[in-house]
């Protein structure tokens, strides 16, 4: 059974991984003509908020967090991007600076695609234009849902929702019945849920006592997805 059969995951997931899926060969060749792949360690910065973009990034393997930082240095994670997703195209489309920062959550392989190749491909590819338009429209809807979530829902509900979304992100070679390990620091979880680290630790302990999750160090395994969905109250 897919998560989509029991929970509206698309309301909360940006899912930009579909942009390049089955792109016409000529478009993909033009886009990737001068790409360069780089291996990044966990915590490495891809780009910083306020910098001028020189290209976009394609995650070959790994996970990357997009986040904003306030004046005190506190992070607010906006989104976790997965293998196959594009990053950085918003700044090029708006002809402005990066609106947020991006850093790897684990050792990752990321391809850099020069701005000129991205723009050239857009000029020739109706398919890529249409997909970007759909993706941007979907992202707007997800952000609107997130604003409502943070305004109305409790820490328990917000953390439950983020764990559901992260469970989908951390599925690797998944088969029914397999455990999915979410490997994320409590600080990053707190940033995603919009709360303090101690609140995340407390709520996770409550989830564990209720038989909803198990923890192995920093790793989290959801043992009862239905209970977590009921807690999320995000329909």
- pLDDT tens per residue across span 62-116: 999 999 998 888 899 988 999 999 999 999 999 999 999 999 999 999 999 999 9
- 154-232 topology per CATH: Arc Repressor Mutant, subunit A (1.10.10)
Question: 152 Cβ partners below 8 Å, 6+ apart?
Answer: none
Three-state DSSP at 169 gives helix
- Distance (Å, whole) CA 171 – CA 195: 25
Mean pLDDT of 144-151: 82
What are the residue boundaries of the structural domains of the chain, listed by start?
A: 3-148, 154-232
Residue with tokens 């305004």: 151
- pLDDT tens per residue across span 161-188: 999 989 988 887 666 667 788 999 999 9
- Distance (Å, whole) CA 225 – CA 1: 12
pLDDT of residue 174: 65
Class in CATH terms, 3-148: mainly beta
DSSP 8-state symbol, 53 = P
pTM of the shown model: 0.86
Question: 5 Cβ partners below 8 Å, 6+ apart?
Answer: none
**77: which 2 tokens?**
């994670």
């Amino acid at each position: 059974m897919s998560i989509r059969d029991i929970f509206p995951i698309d309301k909360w997931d940006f899912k930009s991984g579909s942009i390049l899926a089955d792109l016409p060969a000529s478009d993909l060749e033009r886009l990737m003509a001068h790409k360069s792949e780089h291996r990044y360690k966990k915590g490495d910065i891809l780009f910083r908020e306020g910098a001028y973009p020189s290209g976009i990034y394609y995650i070959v393997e790994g996970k990357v967090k997009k986040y904003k930082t306030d004046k005190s240095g506190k992070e607010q994670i906006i989104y976790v991007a997965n293998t196959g997703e594009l990053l950085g195209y918003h700044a090029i489309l708006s002809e402005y600076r990066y609106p947020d920062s991006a850093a790897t959550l684990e050792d990752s392989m990321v391809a850099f695609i020069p701005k000129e190749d991205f723009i050239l491909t857009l000029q020739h590819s109706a398919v890529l234009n249409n997909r970007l338009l759909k993706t941007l429209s979907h992202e707007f809807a997800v952000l609107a849902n997130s604003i409502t979530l943070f305004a109305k829902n409790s820490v328990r509900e917000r953390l439950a929702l983020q764990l559901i979304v992260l469970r989908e992100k951390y599925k690797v070679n998944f088969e029914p019945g397999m455990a999915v390990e979410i490997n994320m620091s409590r600080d990053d979880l707190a940033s995603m849920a919009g709360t303090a680290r101690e609140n995340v630790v407390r709520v996770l302990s409550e989830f564990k006592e209720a038989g909803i999750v198990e923890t192995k160090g920093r790793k989290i395994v959801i043992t009862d997805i239905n209970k977590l969905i009921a807690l999320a109250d995000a329909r």
